[in-house]
Amino acid sequence: MPGLLLGDIFPDFEADTTIGKIRFHEFLGDQWGVLFSHPRDYTPVCTTELGRAAKLAPEFKKRNVRMIALSIDAVPDHLGWSKDINSYNCEEPTETLPFPIIADPKRDLAIKLGMLDPDEKDNDGMPVTARCVFIIGPDKKMKLSLLYPATTGRNFDEILRVVDSLQLTAYNNVATPVDWKPGDRVMVPPNVPEAEASKMFPCGVFTKELPSGKKYLRYTAQPK
């Protein structure tokens, strides 16, 4: 059965978190959202990931993105673990991170959102959560999902980079090419007819000549 698909309304749910009970859609308000899950508290890879996420939190805030993590342990564990994460970041070992962590001890959400990693089990033989990332737009629709196994840590700079691409392409009819970074040139999407491209992109369109003779590889400057 397919799980959540791009364009689906992301499920609303109630959850206990390190900042108290939340309703997810209310938590997001009219902002973008990024929900990232972790296998367990007090584990090494997760600690490095949450440390990096905390360092990048001001960048997500600048982009109007609310961050929220999830792990299958309970709130008191999350609070204790947050001290370790802050200490790993060479900061005061407080219980506060710049984003809440959802507690999912019964794995209700992990099951609902298709987050379990069947290859990674805890000491009781129960599967732990994989490393999922869901990016949700202000319309509450899912814009992007990533699913990594527990043994492979994610790259949070890449998550920020895709937020930049998602926001740019949500508000402008352009696409971003391989390894694109903000400020690089972007691509004119295939659905823009040749006759309209130069009107749509007055700063110019460069079309790369290709052996097929087809004029589909078109660059333009990144819109402001």
Applying CB under 6 A, the residues found at the interface with ligand BEZ are: 39-40, 43-46, 120, 128, 150-151
User: How far apart (Å, rounded) are the C-alpha atoms in residues 109 and 14?
Assistant: 10
Handedness of CA 144, 85, 31, 139 (dihedral sign): positive
For 189-221, the DSSP string reads -TTS-HHHHHHH-TT-EEE---TT-----EEEP
Distances (CA, A) of 150 to 28, 39, 120, 158, 185: 26, 6, 7, 18, 35
Q: How far is the CB of 120 from ligand BEZ (least distance, A)?
A: 5
Q: How far apart, in whole angstroms, are the C-alpha atoms of residue 79 and residue 175?
A: 40
Give me the least distance between CB of 103 and ligand BEZ, in Å please: 17
Nearer to ligand BEZ, 44 or 183 (CB): 44
> Is 46 annotated in the active site?
yes
Distances (CA, A) of 191 to 63, 65, 175, 184: 28, 29, 11, 21
Nearer CB in complex with ligand BEZ: 152/191: 152
Q: Report the residue number, 127 or 137, with the smaller CB distance to ligand BEZ.
A: 127
Positive/negative CA dihedral, 152, 155, 161, 167? positive
Report the amino acid identity of residue 196: E
Q: How far apart are alpha carbons 159 and 49 in whole angstroms?
A: 12
20 has which bridge partners?
A: 17, 18
- Report the nearest approach of ligand BEZ to the CB of residue 153 (Å): 7
What's the min distance (Å) between Cβ of 139 and ligand BEZ? 33
Rg of the Cα trace of the chain? 20
| Smallest separation, CB 222 to ligand BEZ (Å) | 36
Nearer to ligand BEZ, 8 or 120 (CB): 120
Nearer to ligand BEZ, 40 or 107 (CB): 40
- Residues recognised as catalytic: 46
